Structure 1
Amino acid sequence: MSNPGEADLTPITSLRQLAEWFAVGSKPRADWRIGTEHEKFGFRHAGLEAPAYEPDGIRAILDGLTARGWEPILDRGNPIGLKRGGASISLEPGGQFELSGAPLEDLHGTAAELADHLAETRLVAGPMGIGFAPLGFHPLARREDMPWMPKGRYAIMRQYMPRVGAMGLDMMLRTCTVQVNLDFGDEADMVEKLRVSLALQPLATALFANSPFREGRPSGLRTLRGRVWTETDPDRTGIPAVVFEQGFGFERFVQHVLDVPMYFIMRDGAWIDATGSTFRDFMARGLPGHPGVEATMGDWADHVTTVFTDVRLKRFLEMRGADAGSPEMMVGLSAFWTGLLYDDAAQKAAASLVRPWAVEAVQALRIAVPEGGLTTPFQNRPLRDLAREVLAISRDGLRARGLGEERHLDAVDAVVASGETQADHWLRRYQEAWGQDVSKIFKEAAV
């Protein structure tokens, strides 16, 4: 997403130009990297409420990190993010604190980066009485309890979301995820990786389920965050069938994205409401009420980031199906996908496994797993059985890389071995140790 003053103003002259924007992401294997993005809820130790932007809240944490060498990113004079080296820190609408990690060569670097980030954040936020907990859905707060961050584009999304889905505002305010960004070699490699990862995304949602509570009570789901995404915005979410069509590639994906409704564009450092138009409309006729404004490559890049499919194609592939969780599980997600997609034999084995699956069956599985988790039936067996098979492929893929990275899958293997996801663990604690007091989760989940 563009920050004020950073947008690419190159005019769009052809649809091929848009396809080439994706194709530029193709890289030789030697340049493939692993990027991990993870979000967490802030909470005040005294009352467990989510800290507002100010006073003595999220902005103060950003200022404290700026004093430690991070460079602020401003929106209308307000710091709304930070950058340092190849990493950045950003704010989700409800103040969820996100590290977008640097592109790193191996999973050991990912684990070290996460540990360093959490230690630095504790150093700054701790004296303010603020802690952080990575959970998929806020376990206590009502929607109206959550603060809003002063980012211009969020005001537009806040107005738009209720028009298209019942839980879009919950997605913005009350969810946290962990995402993994991986590279592709060329168009054919992108297509295979995208198909494999979309087909297996419901499995990842089940494996990493970590949001069983809503407003202080069990929700009846293992991943409420997973359910939220099924009721957010059908125009831009889910598992798009087009990816599995014969002949799919960069140009076909462009045609799909052109018909996704827009949120906004940026001009002169300000966000302009573009809801009501698709990008195809924008290119053909401009924006209603804004004569002379023509589509640019910066607008295209911003629009692509508002396509919230379970795996998002940008100039890399972004795996988006998992709840935020413990540090071990967040690194475990990166390990899961790296093992599957960064070794040829593992990728081919995964592709062979998912190839017979009908896209409609995978879409139906996505709807079912928030409640059923690893017990959800699929292909005539519980999803837990499929998880064992896929994890074995991933571990073989990591072992073939020869870097000793397979230990980062241990926490995920433990979930499959026991059948107890992070969500199941919290539900057991709720019944056995907490006296059904969900607020105790913050102390135990804090990082």
Structure 2
Amino acid sequence: MARDSDDTTPLTSRTELIDWFAAGEKPRARFAIGTEHEKIPFYRETRKPVPYAGEAGIRALLEGLARETGWEPITDLGNIIGLHGAEGGAISIEPGGQFELSGAALPDVHATARELDAHLAATKRAAAPLGIGFLTLGMSPKWRRDETPVMPKSRYRIMAGYMPKVGTLGLDMMLRTATVQVNLDFASEADMVRKTRASLALQPVATALFANSPFTDGRPNGFLSRRSEIWRDTDGDRTGMLPFAFESGFGYEAYVDWLLDVPMYFVKRGDTYHDVSGASFRDLMDGRLAQLPGERATVSDWANHASTAFPEVRLKRFLEMRGADVGGPGMIAAQAAFWTGLLYDEGSLDAALDLVKGWTPANREAARATAPRLGLAAPVANTTLGTVAAEALAIARSGLRARARRDGEGRDETVYLQPLEAIVAAGRTLAQDRLADYEGRWGSCVNPAFAECVF
């Protein structure tokens, strides 16, 4: 998660909230790809989590990475909590110390892969003297929630206080999970609607393809993507499959109305985060917020509030694909390639919409509910997510071929789909492979994950 916004321009009308989203529209020639991924740090010698403070803590890691990259620090009440680069990328830390790259907006998946390689190389150089490694799993496999360090970020303290009021697993989401996202552009409101519908319907397919969080508290947890299941009991007001997105008339206005109904977490003024958890953004617009009487909404308040909604596909000034567990570098690039191929070619987008056009709201919700446990075997309509995944991959491959973006070796972006095609061909997710390892050569112990499931 990048820095919170600090635009103090006043907002006075609902139309301005709608216009904020519309301002994200870009001509197709400027479409870009932004990739974000989280990775869980641990001490290689002890397999213990990494706290913020100390000579070999997260703060020291951020300071070391700043020296490696020349990126500028982001601070919160005097604590370094991230870095930002001149080209638009940023490093941040999630509540449990998950180390996140929010990548720059780049022209193709080749550039995304290069960015990722450079980031991992710099991070490893900074981490090596501290004895820190990073897991390629979507959930910490060993430590209990109460053993997981908490990072000193003001917004996270507010969120942590509110989460247990609205769900039972929100703190697990914050402290123990890791995801990969790709952020993609839209050209118009109609284009946004088409991409939102296709990607929402197919998000359970991504959950199945990228399932990689089968362990919790040192043992199998009964899921292939426990991370995805955790989101189902985090906060129903701000998560889920957005069924209204498939209704007639969906657009910026409908999303704004939904977002206005999402309870707030905080209002940021200067360097201070004011806890207004549970409050209404409408009251802030009207100057009637009980916690901050007379204070009125600004552009930064709206941008920050938009970042505290967590549906499976999130609209900001781009679209965020949020259904996947993190994996290794090949899987991170594969996620960018999958959605780029589906959504950035008109023919492929048409085909993706055709693929899901017969699905009912109940079909979509059922797929979302069963994908975390069953993966590719999960049913949807009259087929399975595995069958749909094979068709979606073929569509994505066609879309990437049509883009014809080639690297220095003459390869197009379809090369990055290979890990997903191998998963579909085998009918087995990364999580299933790791569970087989656990039952076999790992000897019913997760400790080998700290040597084998690492960046």
TM over 0.5: yes
Listed as ranges, the gaps of 5+ residues in structure 2 are 406-411
Match of residue 101, structure 2, among 99, 102, 105: 99
Query: Is the 2:286–2:296 Cα contact (8 Å) retained in structure 1?
Result: no
Segments of 4+ moved more than 3 angstroms:
1-4
Structure-2 separation of matches of 1:70 and 1:26? 29
- Tell me the SS of whatever aligns to 1:438: coil
Q: Please, what TM-score do these two structures have when normalized by structure 1? A: 0.98
CA distance in 2, matches of 1:24, 1:285: 25
Identity %, equivalent residues: 53
**Structure 2 counterpart of 1:27:** 26
**Partner of residue 330, structure 1:** 332
1:44-443 matched pairs, under 5 angstroms: 44-55=43-54, 56-68=56-68, 69-84=70-85, 85-403=87-405, 404-443=412-451
Code of the residue aligned with 2:414 in structure 1: it is E
Across the aligned residues of Structure 1 and Structure 2, the Cα RMSD in angstroms comes to 1.1
- Please give the alpha-carbon distance, in whole angstroms, between the structure 2 residues aligned to 1:269 and 1:173: 24
User: Are the counterparts in 2 of residues 23 and 186 from structure 1 also a CA contact under 8 Å?
Assistant: yes
337-346 vs 274-283, which moves further: 274-283
| Whole-angstrom CA distance in 2 between matches of 1:363 and 1:378 | 9
Give the conservation status (yes or no) of the 8 Å contact 1:90–1:99. yes
Q: After TM superposition, give the deviation of residue 360 of structure 1 in Å.
A: 2.3
Report the 3-state secondary structure (helix = DSSP H, G, I; strand = E; otherwise coil) of the residue aligned with 2:101: strand
* Structure 1, 140-149 or 431-440: larger mean CA deviation: 431-440
Matching residue's letter, 1:15: R
Q: 1:114 to 1:261 in 2, by over 3 A?
A: same
AA partner of residue 444 (structure 1): E
> For the residues of structure 2 that align with 1:2 and 1:271, how far apart are their CA atoms?
16
**Which amino acid in 2 is paired with 1:318?**
E
Residue in 2 that maps onto 1:36: 35
- Give, in angstroms, the shift of residue 286 of structure 1: 2.5
Unpaired segments of 5 or more residues in structure 1? none
CA distance in 1, matches of 2:49, 2:226: 19
SS in 1 for 2:195: helix
Aligned residue pair count: 446
* Contact 2:49/2:149 (8 A) holds in 1: yes
What CA deviation, in whole Å up to 9, does each residue of 1:325-375 have, x standing for no partner? 111111101000000001010001111121221122101210111111001
Q: Which amino acid aligns with 1:111?
A: A
* Aligned counterparts of 1:296 and 1:104: Cα–Cα separation in 2: 29
Query: TM-score scaled to structure 2, two decimals?
Result: 0.96
- The structural deviation recorded for 1:257 is 0.6
User: What amino acid does structure 1 have at the position aligned with 2:39?
Assistant: K
Deviation per residue, 1:245-283 (Å, 9 max, x gap): 101111111111101100001012100011121212322
**Alignment-mate amino acid for residue 408 of structure 1:** Y
Separation in 2, partners of 1:206, 1:285: 44
Q: Would the aligned equivalents of 1:2 and 1:298 in 2 still touch at CA under 8 Å?
A: no
Q: Distance in 2 between matches of 1:435 and 1:43?
A: 21
* Displacement after TM superposition at 1:86 (Å): 1.4
Shift, 1:3, TM fit: 4.1
Against the structure 1 CA distance between its residues 88 and 3, is the aligned structure 2 distance closer, same or farther, given a 3 Å change threshold?
Answer: closer
2:29 counterpart letter in structure 1: A
Find the aligned partners of 1:345 and 1:31 in 2 and give their Cα distance.
19
| 1:8-23 aligned within 5 A | 8-23=7-22
* 27-36 or 277-286, which deviates more: 277-286
Report the alpha carbon displacement of residue 292 of structure 1 after superposing the two structures with TM. 2.0
How much has 1:289 moved relative to structure 2? 3.1
1:288-321 Cα offsets, whole Å, 9 max, x none, are 1322211111100000000100000000000000
Q: Secondary structure at the match of 1:67?
A: helix
* Contact 1:209–1:422 (Cα < 8 Å) also in 2: yes
Say if 1:82 and 1:90, in contact at 8 Å, map to a contact too: yes
Distance in 1, matches of 2:387 and 2:356, equals: 14
User: Counterpart amino acid of 2:338?
Assistant: F
1:82 counterpart letter in structure 2:
L
Structure 1 residue 410 displacement after superposition: 0.3
CA distance in 1 between counterparts of 2:375 and 2:304 reads 33
Which AA in structure 1 matches 2:424?
A: V
Deviations 1:144-172 (A, max 9, x none): 01111110111111110000000000000
Q: CA deviation at 1:285?
A: 4.6
Map of 2:408 onto structure 1: none
Contact 2:73/2:80 (CA < 8 Å) preserved in 1? yes
Q: Is the 8 A contact 1:225 1:323 kept in 2?
A: yes
CA 1:153–1:437 in structure 2 vs 1: closer, same or farther (change >3 Å)?
Answer: same
Aligned residue type for 2:81: I
